[in-house]
Amino acid sequence: MKSDESEGAASVMTEVFSTESANDPHPIYQKLLEECPVARSQTMFGGYGVTVARYKDVQHALKHPEVFSSKDVVKIGNNVPLLPLSVDPPDHAKYRRLLDPQFSPRHMAELEPEVRKLVNEIIDGFVTRGSCDFHEEFATPVPSTIFLALTGLPQEDLPQFLRWRDDTIRPQGNSAEEVEAKRHAAGQAIEAYFVDKLAEKEADPDGRLLTTIAHGEVDGRPLTHEEKLGMTHLLLLGGLDTVTATLDCMIVYLAEHPDRRRALVDNPSLMPAAVEELLRHQTPVMMVPRIVTQDTDIDGVSIQAGDSVTLLIGAANTDTCEFADAGDVQFDREANRHLAFGGGPHRCLGSHLARLELRAAMEEFHRRIPNYELAPETTINFSPGIRQTERLYLNFSAATPIS
């Protein structure tokens, strides 16, 4: 479909943001790809929003931030721009140059022994019990514990971090005003926390990530106070949420497809490719927003400067024009150029860390708990936007700690 402002497009848009879509996104992805790969419709706030589903179009938009801008597009309680996400090239590059070495493949390889040790300590907490809430007891603490170790922040601060995360990304409220107030309060609390922690690292550096930011320079000058807060705010949200959501997505799929789980248990060498394929097929971050800076068009649909654009990463990752048998999970898939980490200049800063966390977590979990299933009382519901469960109960054969 290539027509502007259609009721059909608006209807499909509503489905995209529903809980039903988050639980089983593939039918709506296919509907979008087949019927309205570029849909333009009026938003509830006035103006127009455009949804883009095809792989080639999403990839094009990600590679051209001069047209599809990320500048200040994410406003979720933050009082300062989230850096480097909220700035475009060329300014974007100077912040990446500061942070990229902390997330390089080489640095991640150095962290791997510590990451596996932390993962096994978490598994020790429930492995002898024969059951667990995977989301609460594994998917949440794994990336959170690693994030705190990477940044040099105290582990005892984790509970309040998780409250701030949830009040920012999945706030509960009876009205839009109540939700926004909760996000704003969380944003203020996050930034106040990092004011104190950055001051501590300025006075007593420890060589970890927060120290890098506290003493960071760009263009030969020290980072400003706002720049430091923008970096730490973004890192907290990214470090505590998306890997948790990804682990939830992966384990639900494998619990519901025991043949695929058994293939990984029988052949652990498949895990790196399986992580990539499950990132594609189960894409946890379903969409990313952009703002159009100049009039353009995609596939014959006119888009005006000022329009908001939603790039449907999940739909792009199931586009059969890019992925043969896209609806099927193939651990031996070749040329898996999925967009789960985005693309272009704004490609996820922490993608190498995320891959390390996912690979280590999945390998160690399946090494120690090879046979598991969803508990009979479990009802799986994923949150829309970023697909994360609230509860994920597993039953398995109790084992002896071996970490």
> Could you give the residue numbers annotated as active site?
170, 241-242, 348-350
In terms of Cβ atoms closer than 10 Å to its own Cβ (0-12, 13-18, 19+), residue 216 is middle
User: Torsions phi, psi of 87, nearest 5?
Assistant: -130, 150
- Among residues 279, 271, 245, 263, which one has the least CA distance to residue 116? 271
Residue 198 contacts residue 214 (beta carbons within 8 Å): yes
